[in-house]
Amino acid sequence: MKKALIISHSVQSAEALSQLLKIEYFTQISIAENSKTAKKLVENDEFDLICINAPLAEESGIELSVHFARVTRSSVVIIVPQKNADDVNDALTEHGVLVIAKPINKHLFHHYLQFTECFRMRMLTVNEENEKLRHIVEDMKIINRAKLLLITCLNMTEQEAHRYLEKQAMDMRMSKMQIAMQVIKTYEN
């Protein structure tokens, strides 16, 4: 189930974009007429694609696209008039926002959406890997803190402290992290 948010001050353009997205298997499509409504929708839901039909009634849509690229994991696409496309593209490429020029070519739109989906999936994979690494680093910090406590409180060497944590984990059938937490609880008071 793919979810999209269309932001467009033109009801007719929003409906045309909605039809294009349905062809691309987006089954849940929300429409906002302005940035305030769009931000509220994004606060309460997660979208695979955020599509801004620029300009909006009260703004260009450029700042909004940067905002969504920064605070969401959604693919962000901004559709701009042909005469502005190159300048907008130069401003938004570094933020990871895809710029599409009006009028929209249906065939190219299909390929743009495939590209954004591929890019989004790679980004999600990288984010997952970063989360795993962050947890590993946090675990290492706790284990090293426990080792330091064993070294300072029980006069162990670094190797002895390391071996102690491993042996306790094995003997008690617990993780090294759980043993480290117990050591910290015991010796940090």
Q: What average pLDDT score do residues 15-37 get?
A: 95
Domain with CATH 1.10.10.10 in the chain: 131-187
Instruction: Label residue 78 by pLDDT band (50, 70, 90).
Output: very high
Instruction: Say if CB 165 and CB 146 are below 8 A apart.
Output: yes
65 CB contacts (<8 Å, ≥6 apart)?
Answer: 50, 52, 54, 76, 78, 92, 95, 97
The CA distance from 38 to 88, in Å, is: 21
62-71 and 82-92 are packed helices; what angle lies between their axes, rounded to 10 degrees? 40
Distances (CA, A) of 47 to 30, 78, 114, 184: 9, 15, 16, 42
Domain with CATH 3.40.50.2300 in the chain: 2-104
Torsion of CA 31, 34, 40, 45, to 10 degrees: 30
The CA distance from 69 to 86, in Å, is: 19
Share of the chain residues as helix, strand and coil, in percent rounded to the nearest 5 = 65, 15, 20
Q: pLDDT tens-digit profile of 10-21?
A: 999 999 999 999
The CATH architecture of the domain made up of 2-104 is: 3-Layer(aba) Sandwich (3.40)
Determine what percent of the chain is predicted with pLDDT higher than 70. 99
CATH code of 131-187, in short, is 1.10.10.10
* pLDDT reported for residue 54: 96
Flag whether pLDDT at 155 surpasses 90. Answer: yes
Instruction: Say if CB 88 and CB 78 are below 8 A apart.
Output: yes
Q: pLDDT tens-digit profile of 99-142?
A: 999 999 988 988 888 888 888 888 889 989 999 999 999 999 99
The whole-chain average pLDDT of the chain stands at 94
Q: What average pLDDT score do residues 60-81 get?
A: 96
170 CB contacts (<8 Å, ≥6 apart)?
Answer: none
